[in-house]
Amino acid sequence: MELPSEAVDEAARLLLGWRLTANGVTVRLTEVEAYSGLGEDPASHAHRGPTNRNAVMFGPAGRLYVYQIYGMHFCANIVCGESGKAAAVLLRAGAVVDGLEIARQRRPAARRDTDLAAGPAKLMQVLALDKGANDTSVIDGTGPATLSPPAEPAGTIAAGPRVGVTSAHDVPWRFWISGDPTVSVYRRHTPRRSG
């Protein structure tokens, strides 16, 4: 199995509906966000070139780029570009399609099952993935998570601005399955005011 080799925004669209399985839970991806690299996308972690943190974004495709936000939550991207050129798709939300009881135990604060993985950090919690999954494959069975093709077409795909980035936030590279109740709530970026 190979990941799509198209441009990162097209790869993001194609990942909708795919299933990601880890630690007894499977989610159907319902929302993603595309990030390009070097000089092209100021919202990308790879904008200024490779570092120890973002090196996995520069390929090969099919690996997880996992990072921590706010000192406590983890987010995951699937690298989808050719080696040497940064491109990754942030996994923003999903619907739990297998392992529902396990997912509920991992996210006891979720009021509804549609809220279990309705956000990038929540998705990581239900899959029980953390920094240890960074730079592991999702396609060859060697990593803690496995990506598999959709059982059915994703349906109508919508696009809009990305969430939570300070630069290029109006770039319409957030994609979601239209009408799906697991898609996270959009919040436009608001710059912080100083003192």
The model's pLDDT over 171-183, given as tens digits with 9 standing for 90+, comes to 788 899 999 999 9
Query: What pLDDT was estimated at residue 84?
Result: 80
* Measured CA angle at 50 (ends 189, 135), to 5 deg: 90
Distance CA 137, CA 147 (A): 9
| Whole-number average pLDDT of the chain | 86
In this prediction, residue 30 has a pLDDT band, given cuts at 50, 70 and 90, of: very high
Is 126 exposed, middle or buried (CB count within 10 Å of its CB: 0-12, 13-18, 19+)?
Answer: buried
For 1-29, what is the mean pLDDT? 83
For 130-135, what is the mean pLDDT? 95
Strand partners, 175: 32, 159
Distance CA 133, CA 161 (A): 28
For 136-153, what is the mean pLDDT? 93
Phi-psi region of 104 (alpha: psi -120 to 50; beta: other; left: phi over 0): alpha
Q: What are phi and psi of 67, to 5 degrees?
A: -140, 165
For 47-72, what is the mean pLDDT? 84
Is 101 exposed, middle or buried (CB count within 10 Å of its CB: 0-12, 13-18, 19+)?
Answer: exposed
pTM of the complete model beyond 0.85: yes
Domains of the chain: 8-177 (3.10.300.10)
- Classify 30 as helix, strand or coil: strand
